[in-house]
Chain A
């Protein structure tokens, strides 16, 4: 858990530093949102490879399905708007930290992995939701992008609650 908090603390700092600079542009926001979704898809795929717990596996399948749907919609939107997502320090920090988490979780046994995965899902969705509320949604200029981010916030808040519920029920 400490490791997860360290990871997310870094991610939160990266997102906060983006906010302090003039605010991310739409191409940067699209890149950050897409990256954040891909990170959760990768985490869920690791869960499907490692976990034997039916509840954890069902949750992981839901994460793959929902985040892929948002990312597919985001890709279609940037294509329609002729916007090229722009890599940035926040996306790079998120990716780097997520890679470290995947590596660390890969060493856990199935039981410990289930606990670590769900706790990390709670914390990760919390961090992303906070960034959506305070930085990404307020900074988005394009109405369609803003609307997709708002739908994403509603969805990810559900994910956070779901993960909290499962983590609390986990023995």
Chain B
């Protein structure tokens, strides 16, 4: 039982990848076929997002309020720490029809 609990704790750690403070988590948002994949239901300030561009095309993840602007060449990825809170609408600046929203709590 103790081993099972330890294994479960390790799984949670690897899935959530907590930062130094122990409260931040990492999430991946994939981009393919001209679409952003699902975004996490809830994020917190300090969490990390890995933007993974699996598409043929260069994209960006650009906040409507310009709080972030991540360039994503085809087949590449980039990490971003979430610094703002609220409902952060974003789009690809090259293909503005590609859109999503990050919901970030303090």
Binding site for B on A (CB under 8 A): 62, 65-66, 69-70, 73, 151, 154-155, 157-158, 161-162, 165
Contact = CB atoms under 8 A, between A and B. Distances in A.
Contacts of A70: 56
A166 to B, nearest CB: 11
Contact of B96 (A66, A69, A154, A162): A162
A15 to B, nearest CB: 23
Contact of B56 (A151, A158, A161): A151
Contacts of B34: 151, 154-155, 158
Given A65-B58, A66-B57, A69-B57, A158 B96 contact: yes
B33 A151 contact: yes
Contacts, number: 31
B56 A62 contact: no
Contacts of B94: 62, 66, 162
Contacts of B56: 69-70, 73, 151
* Interface size, B (range): 10 to 19
Interface in B22-78: 33-34, 56-58, 74
A158 B77 CA distance: 22
B95 interface: yes
B33 A65 contact: no
9 contacts: A66-B57, A66-B58, A69-B56, A70-B56, A155-B34, A155-B95, A158-B95, A158-B96, A161-B97
A12 B96 CA distance: 27
A158 B58 contact: no
A155 B59 CA distance: 11
A65 B34 CA distance: 14
B98 interface: yes
A162 B74 contact: no
Given A66-B58, A69-B56, 8 more contacts: A62-B94, A65-B57, A66-B94, A69-B74, A151-B33, A151-B56, A161-B96, A162-B94
Nearest to B33: A151
B80 to A, nearest CB: 22
Contact of A158 (B33, B74, B98): B98
Contacts of A73: 56
B36 to A, nearest CB: 13
Contacts of A65: 57-58
A15 B45 CA distance: 52
7 closest A-B pairs by CB: A158-B95, A154-B34, A69-B56, A158-B97, A151-B33, A66-B57, A62-B94
Contacts of B33: 151, 154
